[in-house]
Amino acid sequence: MFEKIKLFVNESADEVKNKVTCPTAKELQNSTVIVLVSALVFAVLIGLVDFVFENGMTWFYRSF
Residue 45's pLDDT is 98
Distance CA 9, CA 5 (A): 6
Residue 64's pLDDT is 84
Show pLDDT as tens, one digit a residue, over the chain (64 residues): 899 999 999 999 999 999 999 999 999 999 999 999 999 999 999 999 999 999 999 999 999 8
Residue 6's pLDDT is 95
Closest CA to 14 of 6, 2, 24: 6
Residue 1's pLDDT is 86
Residue type, 7: L
